[in-house]
Amino acid sequence: MLHSPYLQANPSLHVFLPLFYTVWSDAILTPSEIATIEGLINSQGWLTKSEHDFLVSQLNPAAPPTADELMEWKDEIKNAAELTIGKTLVDIGIKLVELKGGNVPVEVLKAKPSLANIEATLGFISHEATFNFQSGGRSTVTHQQTTQKTFDVNAMTRLLDGKNAATIRKVKTIITDPEFQYVDPSNLDAYRERVLDWCRLLAGQGFGAMAYPKEYGGQGDMAAYFAIMETLSYHDLSMVIKFGVQFGLWGMSVYFLGTEKHHKKYLKDIGTLDLPGCFAMTETHHGSNVKGIETTATYQHATKTLVINTPHAFAKKDYIGNAAKHGQMATVFVKLIIDGKDYGVSAVVVPLRDKKGNTMPGITIEDCGRKMGLNGVDNGKIEFKNVIVPVENLLDRFAGITDDGKFTSPIASDNRRFFTMLGTLVGGRIGIPRSGLSAVKSGLTIAIKYSDQRKQFGPEGAPEVPILNYRTHQRRLMPLLANAYALHFSLQYLTDRFINRTEEEMQEIEALAAGLKAFATWNTTATLQECRESCGGKGYLSENRIDDLKNDTDIYTTFEGDNTVLMQLVAKSRLTEFKQEFARMDFFGILGYVAEQAATSISELNPITVRNTDEEHLLDPTFQLDAFKYRERDILTSAAKRLKRHISEGMDSFDAFNVAQHHLVQVGFAYIERMVLEKFIEQVNQTTDAGCKAILKKLCDLFALSQIDKNKGWYLEQGYMEGVKTKAIRKLMNQLCWDIRQEAVPLVDAFAIPDSCLAAPIVVGK
C-alpha cells in the first residue's frame, strides 16, 4: 500500500494508514473488524469510486502486507505521531497527509468524528493503538513509581529494636563472622556438625545461658534471650532450632519443671553446651494430645528409682531434636506410676548417651532422616526399655515423691497440674513466631528489593517497568509487609507480658501466645510462598535462600502445638472468660446478657455508618478497631450460644465442640486480629519521630483494611458494612499499596538484616 503509486498520487488517503496498520498489526484480525472498516469507507462520501475501491482492496485478508511493508508503515506513522498533538488515529492520519504534502480536504476534517467513532466501535483496545506510535520514554503513572524515602531508616531500626538494640547488634556481629558462612545442606552429617559448632560458638558468647540465673552462668535476661533467638533467625534456621532445643526446651524444662537440685546439677553445663540435651515430649501416636502419652516412669520404692518404659512402638518419643546424634540427656515426659496408680504427666531427666556418644543401656535411638527443612537438626526417635534412673531425676516442682514413697504436688487436680506444667513452657510459643517473623523479614527483603530492580514489560517503545510497579505485585507483597510490622509489635508486646507476668495473668498470656503463634506462623508460610512466586525462577534457586527460609519454617505451624489445635485452645480460653462473666449472673441474667449483646450489635449498625465510604472515616483508628472488636465479640457470643444450644439439645459436649470447631477457630482469629491491630495503633500513637509515625500509620491502615477485606464476607453477612463500603475499602487498600510501594525498600532496609545473612545474589550480588 505504502509504496503504491496510487497512494502517492492521492496523498489524502494517508489518513487511513494508521487505522489500517492497527488492524493489520493487531494480533487478531477478525472478519467483523474488516466489515467495520469497510462500513467506514463506504460512509466516506468524499472518496471517489476509484479511491474507495483502492482502499477496500487493501483489506483483502488473502493479500496481507508483507512483514517488511508493515515495518515501514510503522516508521512512517511513528514519525507523524511524534508531531501530532491529538490522541486519535485520525489525528495522526491527518498529520501524515500533511507530511506527504497532500491537502487535508475539508471532508476529512469533517469526517473526524465518524472516524473517531470507528475507533470506539473497534473497542477500547484500538484506543491503545495510538500509544504504539509514541516514542519511547514517555512517563506513565506506572513509570513514575520509584523508591523514595520519607523517613529516617535508622530511626525506624531503633524503634524496632527497642531496648534490645545492644543485644541485637552483638548477635549480628557474631553471625556475620566468616565462621558463620552458610554450608551446603545436602550433606546431612556435615551440616549437622556445623550447626552444632555454631551453637557452641553462640554458647561461648553467653547467648545460650542468657535467660538462666546468674548463679548458673546466665544473665537472668529473658528479653535478651528472645531477642537473640529472633536475630539468629536471620541466619540458618537449623542453627536457631538447635539453639532453641538446647537452651530453650531442654534448659528451660530443667529450670521451670525442676527444683534447685536440678538447677545446680545441670543448668550451667546446659548453658555452655557441655551437656547437650533433648526435650522428649511428643510420641509417634501422641503429639497434640500430650495427655495421652504412654511412656511410663514407674516408681520403685525399694531402690528409690524410676523405671522408664516405652510400652509399644508407637509410643516412642518422636521427632526429638538433638536426639539422633548429639543429645546426652533428655527431659522425658512420662506417665508417673506409683503403687500401680497413674498420677498423670510428669517429667524425668534421663541420660541418653555417655560423653563419648555411646547410647545408654535400654535406650534405642533411630534417626528421623531427611526432612523438608531444618536438616541441620538431628531429630530422632527414642525407645526406652527398663531404663532405671534415681528418683532425684524426677523434675519435681509440680509432681514429686515423698521420702515415704507417696505422690506429692502443690496442685491437687491432675488437670490443673498438667496445664500448669505446660504453661511454664509457653516461651516456645513466643520464640517460634519471633523466629518465623525474622524469616518473613528476610523473605520480604529479598522479594521487595528484587522486585524493585527486576523489570518486565512496559509501554510500547518505552523502557520496561520494575515489577513492583504492577498493582498485582503490590497487592501480593505490600499487605504482607504491613503484617510483618504489625506482628513485630504484637510479638514484642506478648514477650513483655510474658516476662512481667503474674500468676493471675497466666491463662490470658497462654491464650495470647497460642493464638499469636498460630496467626504469625501461618503468616510466615503464606508470606514466604508469595515471596517465592514473586521472584519467579530466581525464587526457586537455592542460592537465593527463599527455598531454605520456606522449607525450614514450614514446620513452625506444627511445632509447639499444631496451629488448628492452638486456635481452638484460644477459643476455649475466651469461652472460659465468657463463662466467668456468666458465673456472676443467674440463669435469667445470662439470657438477658445474650439479648443485650444482640441489642448492642444492632444499635451499632447505624445505617449511615454501614455505608460511610469517606476516606477519613475508613482511616480512623476508632472505626477500624470498633470493626475488629465487633467481630471479636459477635463471633464469641454466637459460638457460645451455638455450643449451649447443641448441649441443651442433648448433644455430647465433645460432639458439640467438634460441630462448632470451624467457628471456634474463627473465635481465635478474631481475638488475635483485634489484639494485633490494637497494639499497632498504640505503637503509631506513641511514635514520636514524624517520618516513622507517618509511614507506620500507613502500614497500620493497610493491615487494618486488608484484614477487614479478608473478612468482608462476614461483615457483609452481618450487615455491619454494605457493599459500597467494602468496595471503598478495597480501593483504599490499592491506594495504600501504591503509596507504600515507594517506601517498601527503606521499610525492609529498616529490618537491617546483614547482607551476609540475606546472601541472595539477586539482592546482594554474588
Residues 660-679 that bind a copy of itself (CB under 8 A): 660-662, 665
Nearest to a copy of itself of 359, 576 (CB atom): 576
Strand partners, 278: 330
Q: x/- string (CB under 8 A) for a copy of itself, residues 626-645?
A: --------------x--xx-
Of 414, 422, 411, 629, the C-alpha closest to 506 is: 422
590 near a copy of itself, judged by CB under 8 A:
yes
456 near a copy of itself, judged by CB under 8 A:
yes
Nearest to a copy of itself of 70, 499 (CB atom): 70
755 near a copy of itself, judged by CB under 8 A:
no
148 near a copy of itself, judged by CB under 8 A:
no
Nearest to a copy of itself of 543, 615 (CB atom): 543
525 near a copy of itself, judged by CB under 8 A:
yes
Helix ranges (DSSP H) in 184-290: 188-204, 222-232, 237-243, 251-257, 260-262, 268-271
How far is residue 177's CA from residue 174's CA, in Å, rounded to a whole number?
5
658 near a copy of itself, judged by CB under 8 A:
yes
Shortest reach from residue 431's CB to a copy of itself, in Å: 18
536 near a copy of itself, judged by CB under 8 A:
yes
547 near a copy of itself, judged by CB under 8 A:
yes
412 near a copy of itself, judged by CB under 8 A:
yes
600 near a copy of itself, judged by CB under 8 A:
no
Pairing, β 296-300 against β 305-309: antiparallel
How far is residue 440's CA from residue 92's CA, in Å, rounded to a whole number?
51
User: Which set of grid coordinates corresponds to residue 509?
Assistant: 498470656
Residue 639 and residue 668 in contact, taking contact as beta carbons nearer than 8 Å: no
Residue 112 and residue 90 in contact, taking contact as beta carbons nearer than 8 Å: yes
Residue 170 and residue 219 in contact, taking contact as beta carbons nearer than 8 Å: no
Nearest to a copy of itself of 173, 542 (CB atom): 542
Contacting residue, 206, 287, 405, 754, with a copy of itself by CB under 8 A: 287
- Other Cβ atoms less than 10 A from the Cβ of 240: the count is 31
Strand partners, 298: 307, 337
417 near a copy of itself, judged by CB under 8 A:
yes
Contacting residue, 29, 109, 166, 605, with a copy of itself by CB under 8 A: 29
611 near a copy of itself, judged by CB under 8 A:
no
Q: x/- string (CB under 8 A) for a copy of itself, residues 196-235?
A: ----------------------------------------
497 near a copy of itself, judged by CB under 8 A:
no
471 near a copy of itself, judged by CB under 8 A:
yes
How far is residue 762's CA from residue 199's CA, in Å, rounded to a whole number?
29
How far is residue 526's CA from residue 493's CA, in Å, rounded to a whole number?
23
Q: Is 149 left (phi over 0), alpha (psi -120 to 50) or beta?
A: beta
How many residues does this entry show for the chain? 766
Contacting residue, 11, 162, 362, 458, with a copy of itself by CB under 8 A: 458
Q: Which long-range contacts (CB under 8 A, 24 or more apart) does 223-229 make?
A: 223/163, 223/164, 223/495, 223/496, 223/499, 224/164, 224/167, 226/427, 226/430, 226/431, 226/434, 226/495, 227/164, 227/167, 227/168, 227/171, 228/167, 228/171, 228/202, 229/431, 229/434, 229/435
Contacting residue, 20, 234, 299, 319, with a copy of itself by CB under 8 A: 319
**Binding residues for a copy of itself, total number by CB under 8 A:** 145
**Cell 503509596 belongs to which residue?**
739
Site for a copy of itself in 718-747 (CB under 8 A): 718-719, 723, 726-727, 734
Nearest to a copy of itself of 300, 658 (CB atom): 658
Q: Identify which range of 134-142, 322-330, 487-495, 689-697 contacts a copy of itself by CB under 8 A.
A: 134-142
Shortest reach from residue 430's CB to a copy of itself, in Å: 21
Shortest reach from residue 373's CB to a copy of itself, in Å: 8
| Distance between first and last Cα of the chain | 54
Shortest reach from residue 664's CB to a copy of itself, in Å: 8
Q: x/- string (CB under 8 A) for a copy of itself, residues 341-380?
A: x-x------------------------xxxxxx-------
How far is residue 709's CA from residue 273's CA, in Å, rounded to a whole number?
48
563 near a copy of itself, judged by CB under 8 A:
yes
Contacting residue, 158, 263, 268, 455, with a copy of itself by CB under 8 A: 455
Contacting residue, 294, 562, 620, 689, with a copy of itself by CB under 8 A: 562
Nearest to a copy of itself of 149, 633 (CB atom): 633
b/e map 69-81, b = 16+ CB within 10 Å? ebeebbebbbbbb
606 near a copy of itself, judged by CB under 8 A:
no
Strand partners, 381: 366
Nearest to a copy of itself of 1, 676 (CB atom): 1
